Amino acid sequence: MAKEEKTKASLIIAKNKENNGKNFEENSLIEVGKSAPLFSLPSDDGDISISELKGKNIVLYFYPKDDTPGCTIEAQDFTKNIDKFIDMDCVIIGVSKDSITSHCKFIEKYKIAFNLLSDADGEVCKKFDVIKEKSMFGKKYQGIDRSTFLINKIGKISAMWRSVSVKGHVEQVLKELSKISK
């Protein structure tokens, strides 16, 4: 069933590849009401450009690392609710700095029903301002701050969540999505 759901989500992306993305703009300031930054990244299913998704709502979420506890729960929660997102004409896209090989293993292991994009050099993460200083075992490093952006059908950011707590997050996103899907 997860493979069928993934196929549905991939078909939505494929159908929109002919769109020209006129309403998406280069934008260095990330705020609600502004245009989402343009980008194209490799995925487990080929390159995906955000401009190709014009006409669909988009949940674009950034997460730190494949196959870690919080990231796994978040991906599974989005997958469990994929039909609700599809019903509201929405595509879910996950982004991390992990490789495509890592994404493919993660998708297969947990039956993730949507595309995961690889931002290996972190350029898209920088565009969305999700790279933050973190600390683990007293050592500081730059990493992805779990963040989600809801982008409407014309490419504007409708809602965003920073420093996301995984529990209940998908429900928050669905609630906001229902407001723009009417």
Q: Give me the mean pLDDT over the 40-52 stretch.
A: 94
Please state, in angstroms and rounded to a whole number, the distance separating the CA atoms of residues 94 and 81: 14
Q: What percent of the chain has pLDDT over 90?
A: 75
Return the pLDDT at 6. Answer: 52
Domains of the chain: 2-180 (3.40.30.10)
Would you call 90 a catalytic residue per the annotation? no
Please state, in angstroms and rounded to a whole number, the distance separating the CA atoms of residues 42 and 130: 19
Using the predicted structure, report yes or no on whether residue 162 has a pLDDT greater than 70. yes
pLDDT tier at 140, thresholds 50, 70, 90? confident
Chain-centroid distance, C-alpha 30: 15
Q: What angle do CA 14, 54, 178 make, to 5 degrees?
A: 105
Please state, in angstroms and rounded to a whole number, the distance separating the CA atoms of residues 37 and 59: 14
Q: Which of 24-33, 104-113, 145-154, 158-167 has the lowest mean pLDDT?
A: 24-33
pLDDT tier at 150, thresholds 50, 70, 90? very high
Helix (H) or strand (E) holding 71: helix 69-80
Tell me if 157 sits within 8 A of 70, measured CB to CB: no
Q: Give me the mean pLDDT over the 41-46 stretch.
A: 93
Coil, strand or helix: which one is 9?
A: helix
pLDDT tier at 136, thresholds 50, 70, 90? confident
Return the pLDDT at 4. Answer: 53
pLDDT in tens, 101-111: 999 999 999 99
Q: The pTM is what? A: 0.84
**Which position has the token pair 């059908």?**
153
Tell me if 137 sits within 8 A of 107, measured CB to CB: no
What count of other Cβ atoms lies within 10 Å of the Cβ of residue 169?
18
Q: Which of 71, 90, 104, 125 is catalytic?
A: 71
User: Where is pLDDT greater, at 54 or 90?
Assistant: 90
- The mean of the pLDDT values for the chain is 87
Q: Which residues contact 128 (CB under 8 A, 6 or more apart)?
A: 30, 37, 60, 62, 147, 149
> Rg for the chain (alpha carbons), in Å?
15
Please state, in angstroms and rounded to a whole number, the distance separating the CA atoms of residues 147 and 4: 27
Return the pLDDT at 28. Answer: 52
